[in-house]
Structure 1
C-alpha cells in the first residue's frame, strides 16, 4: 500500500501529510499581491508544506471578496512557496486539539474553509491554481473548485482522509463523483495518489505544463490586460505552455477494472468484486482498504453517492454536518494519533470491522447537528 505520508527528508523538515500543528512564525502565512489585472495569493508556510490553517482562511476569503467587487480585477492566481508543495492539507492537529479542549477553532476552521471553497467554486473571475507539488486534502479544496488547475510533473495529489478516520471533504462530495466512470469512488475510498500528468488525465487538473515553465506562465497571465482576462483567453494562454508529449495515464490499463469493481452497491460489495477480479492491482486495493477506518469507508461511500446528485452549496452543508459528527466520534482522533502523533501507523479503529458499522450509524453522520445551524451558502 502506498503510505499516507511521504516523508520528505531534510535536516529540519518532514511531511506529516501536511497536517501538523506548526509553531507560529514571524513571517506572514499568506502573501497577497497585485500585478496589473492579476491578483496573486501565495501560501507561505513552506516548512509546513503550506498546510492550511485558520489564519490563512481568514486572510484569503476577505481578499477574494474584495477582489470580486473590484472592477480592476481580471483574474486570481494561487500558488505555494517553496519547491515541494502547493498545499499539503489542513492543520488537523490544531483542529482536534481544539475539539478535545472544548474550543472553537475546529468549528471556525471547517466552516470557514468550506465557505472559502464555495467562493472559489462560484467565483466571477478566472481562478488559476498552480499545483506544482504536493496537493492533498485542503490543498485540493483550494484548487479543484477553481476554473483553471495547472498540474506539473511534480504534482502529487490525493484525498487520503479515510486513512485518518475522516472523509474526503473540502467539496470532495462534489468533484469526486463527477470524474469519469468510477474513478472518484476509487480515489475517495483508497486515497490513491495521482502523480504528474495523471492529475490532468483524471480531470482534477484542467491543464498540464512542465514545472520549469511555471514562472513564465505566471508572467504571461500577469501580463494579460483586464479586457483579455476571460476564461477562454486564460485557457489558451495556459495551453500555449503545454508540452506536445504529455505522459500517458498510468491508470489507463486499470480503468476498466476500476469501473467494474468500484460500481459496487456497498463497500463490502466493492471488496468482493476486487477479490473476485484477483489481479495484482485489485488485490493492492483490497489491502489498502483493509487499513482504512471502516466507519470512514462506509460514510464516504454514502457521501459520494449523495454528492453525485447534490449542488455545490448542498455538498458543503452536508460536509459541515459530517465534520461535526466525526469530531464527536473516535476514529478521527485515533487516526491523528497513529499517523501524526505517535506515528506507529497502527490505528485501532472502533468499530474495527465493516460489518460492525450499521446503516443507522452511517445515516447519523448526515443528520442535522442539534444546536448547531447548518452551513447555508448562496
Structure 2
C-alpha cells in the first residue's frame, strides 16, 4: 500500500482515507489502482456493509483533483503514463457508480476534478461550510472528466453546463443545493459523524442506518447563492453551441450574465466546445460506462493538445495566467476539430474488465 492512501476495514466499514496532504490529496495512478482493487474486493465481501471515503484528519482539502503536472509531462511525450492514469481512474469512477452498497464521502474541503469523481458517484455525499467544489478544467485546456459528462447534465436545469463551461465554484451549502452533495453539516460535527459511524451496527440495513445517523446531524439546505441567476442559467446555457450561449449571455446586458460570457471567452475555446458536446452527449447516454468510454476518447487525445500544454504552463508552471489559446476565439474552432476528440479508439477503447 502506498503512503498516499490508507485503505482498511473497521467494524464492517471499508475505509478509504486520502493521505497526500502536500498535494491537497490529489489522485495519482497508484491511489486510483488501490481504491479500485479495494472496491472490487469489498463488493463481494459480506462482512463489509458500506464504504467511507474521507481525507487525513487535520489536513486541508478533500481532494484537489488529479496529478496535472504528470499528465502534462506525459502528454508532451508519448502520453502513455497519462492514458494509464485515465484508464485506472475512470475504471475506479465506474466501480464507485456500480457499487451496490452505500458509499459515503465527506467533502470537508477543496473538492475539484478527480476529487469530484471520487465522491459524486457514491450514494451519500456530505458537504460542510469548508467544501469548495469546482470543475475548472476548461481553464487549463483539459475537460470536465471523471464522469462529468454524466452527472453535470443531470443536475437541475442547465446548472451543470454553467459549472462546466465557466469552472464556477460552489461553496458550503450550495454544493448540496446543487445536488453535488446529498447532505450538509457543520464541519465541527464531522467528528460526531465519525464517532456514530464507528459505533453503529451496519450489518442489517446499512443504508437505513446511515440515513438515520445523517438525519440526526445534517442541517436543512438553504436556497443557494446562485438562485437569483437560475433563470438566466437555464435559458442562456440551453443553447446548442458555445457561440449561442455566449451571445445569449451578452444580450442580457451589463451584470452577472455578461460576466459569465467574459469568463467563457477567457477559457480554452476548443475545450469549451469539447466540454459542451461532452455534456450534451452524456445527457443522452444510456449507461454510465458509455459516457466513460467517451471521456476516455477525449482524454486520450486532450493531454497531447496544444491548449492543454499551454494551459498547464500558464496556470500551474509559470503561473502568469495568460494562456495563448489556439485557436484564440470560439468562432475559429471548427466542428471537425471538436469531432476528432470523440472518434473511437479501436483496440485502445476503455475496457472495464480487470
Q: What does residue range 45-194 of structure 1 map to in structure 2 within 5 Å?
A: 45-81=20-56, 82-102=58-78, 104-194=80-170
In the TM superposition, residue 66 of structure 1 has moved relative to its aligned partner by 1.0
Contact 2:5 2:31 in 1 (8 A): yes
Give the direction of change, closer, same or farther, for the CA distance of 1:58–1:377 in structure 2 (3 Å limit).
closer
Match of 2:183 among 183, 207, 214: 207
The alignment partner of 2:154 has SS state of coil
2:8 paired with 1:33: yes
Deviation at 1:233, TM superposition (A): 2.8
Gaps of 5+ in 2: none
For the pair 1:340 / 2:277, whether they are aligned, the reply is no
User: Deviations along 1:140-190, whole A, 9 cap, x unmatched?
Assistant: 000000111000000000000000101100000000000000001110100
The answer to whether 1:287 aligns with 2:272 is: no
List alignment gaps of at least 5 residues for structure 1: 1-25
Q: Is the 8 A contact 1:77 1:128 kept in 2?
A: yes
- The structural deviation recorded for 1:221 is 2.0
Instruction: Tell me which residue corresponds to 1:10.
Output: none
CA shift for structure 1 position 69: 1.6
d(CA) in 2 for partners of 1:117, 1:48 = 20
Contact 2:310 2:324 in 1 (8 A): yes
**In 2: Cα distance, 1:103 partner to 1:243 partner:** 45
Give the secondary-structure state (helix, strand or coil) at the position aligned to 1:226: coil
Superposed CA deviations along residues 102-130 of structure 1, whole A, max 9, x for unmatched, are: 26211110010000000001102110000
Q: Which has the higher helix share?
A: 2
Give the secondary-structure state (helix, strand or coil) at the position aligned to 2:62. strand
Q: CA–CA distance in 1 between the matches of 2:180 and 2:79? A: 35
Q: Deviations over 1:335-377 (max 9, x none)?
A: 000010000000011111111111111111100136x521133
CA RMSD of superposed structures (Å): 1.6
Residues 180, 103 of structure 1: CA spacing in aligned structure 2 closer, same or farther, 3 A cutoff? closer
Helix, strand or coil: the match of 1:34? strand
Say whether residues 1:323 and 2:287 are aligned partners: no
How many aligned residue pairs are there? Answer: 351
Q: Contact (CA 8 Å) 2:202, 2:209: kept in 1 or not?
A: no
Q: 1: CA distance between counterparts of 2:193 and 2:60?
A: 19
Distance 1:188 1:105 in 2: 26
Q: Hey, what's the Cα distance between the residues in 2 that align with 1:324 and 1:104? A: 9
Once residues 247 and 7 of structure 2 are traced to their aligned partners in structure 1, the CA distance between those partners, rounded to angstroms, is 50
Question: What TM-score do the two structures reach when normalised by structure 1?
Answer: 0.90
The Cα of 1:101 is off from its aligned counterpart by 3.0
Q: Does 1:248 align with 2:223?
A: yes
Does the CA contact (< 8 Å) of 2:79 and 2:303 recur in 1?
A: no
TM-score by length of 2: 0.96
* Conserved? CA contact 2:265–2:330, under 8 Å: no
Q: Choose 149-158 or 263-272, whichever is displaced more.
A: 263-272
Distance in structure 1 (CA, Å) of the matches to 2:183 and 2:44? 28
Corresponding position of 2:332: 356
Contact kept? 2:76, 2:304, Cα under 8 Å: no
